[in-house]
Amino acid sequence: MAEVKRKDQWTAEDDHKLASTVLEIVKNGGTQIYAFEVAAEKLSRTKQACGFRWNKTLRHTYGQDLNQAKQKYQHPMHTHLKQAMSSYDELLEAHDKLQREHAELKTFVQQIQRVCLASPFNQQK
C-alpha cells in the first residue's frame, strides 16, 4: 500500500526557511511573533502554523542559535548612548582633574606670595 502524504506536510526546506527567517528577524531586533508572520507569507501558511512548528519542533534544534541572535542585537541608539555616556564620563573626569590641578596651583601661588612678602629683599629701605 502506498504511503499517503499530507498536502500540508512540513518539508526540510520549509523548516529551513522558517528557522532562517526567525533567526534573521530576531537577530535584527524583531520579535518571534513578527518572524512567524513573515515566514507565513513566505511559506503560504498561517502565522499560527509557523509558530506551532517552531515551538513544537524547531526550537529544540535552533534554541542555542536563537539565544545568540537575541544577545547579538543592539539597537543603534544603544551604541550612540553608550558612546555619549563614555564621552560624558571622560569629560567629567577631565573636569575634576582640572579642578584639582587648579586648587594645587592656587595653593602653590599663595605659598610663593607669602615667601616673597617675607623675603628680606622685599623690605624697603
pLDDT in tens, 44-93: 999 999 999 999 999 999 988 888 888 866 666 666 777 778 888 888 89
Place of cell 543592539: 74
Residue type, 112: I
CA 95 to chain centroid: 28
Give pTM, 2 decimals.
Answer: 0.54
Angle, CA of 51, 57 and 62, to the nearest 5°:
90
CA 82 vs CA 71, 85, 108: distances in Å: 17, 5, 39
What's residue 103's pLDDT? Answer: 95
What cell does 43 get? 511559506
The pLDDT tens digits of the residues spanning 32-54 come to 999 999 999 999 999 999 999 99
Q: Is residue 3 within a helix (H) or strand (E), and if so which, with residue range? A: none
Q: Where along the chain do its domains lie? A: 12-72, 76-120
